[in-house]
Amino acid sequence: MIRRRRSRADEVSFQITPMIDLTFLLLIFFMVTQRITEQQVMVPVDLPTSARAGDPSATEREIVNIDADGNYFIGDRPATEEELKAHLTEKFVNFPPLQIYVRADAMTPARKIKRVVTLAAEVGAIDLIYGVHSD
């Protein structure tokens, strides 16, 4: 019986280059994502104040801004009520479960906020939080 001896070419080794590539791709992804998230809260909204304010959870949330005049914004882009509903419906279909972060100005008419809550319920949102400042 002939025994074959393992050569150095047959040995398995760990390649570090693909791991470095993956690390850089993840770094770029998170840098770009952070800038998009920061832009979505750039709408000038004077949030109401609350003694029990907390930070929203780290999960992905769809940001809806409402200014003092009651105008809707999807992130930082102005939108009509119909556009907002269509956008939330699309997000619910493509990326369930839908979680919404509502940033409404302290002077926003209550009926505008109530309308966003109704739209969220109609499209199937499971979680809705409101933005406030802490004392």
| Whole-structure pTM value | 0.61
Q: Which pLDDT does position 131 carry in this prediction?
A: 78
E strands present in 1-135 = 49-50, 62-66, 72-74, 77-79, 99-104, 127-130, 133-134
- The DSSP call for residue 10 is G
- Encoded amino acid at 79, one letter: A
CATH of domain 36-134: 3.30.420.270
Nearest Cα to Cα of residue 103 among 80, 73, 59, 126: 73
Q: Which pLDDT does position 111 carry in this prediction?
A: 93
Annotate 87-99 with b (16+ C-beta within 10 A) or e (fewer). Answer: bbeebbeeeeebb
* Segments making up each domain of the chain, as ranges: 36-134
pLDDT per residue as tens digits for the range 84-121: 999 999 988 887 788 888 888 889 899 999 999 999 88
Listed as ranges, residues in the chain with pLDDT below 50 are 58
Q: Which pLDDT does position 58 carry in this prediction?
A: 45
Q: Which pLDDT does position 50 carry in this prediction?
A: 64
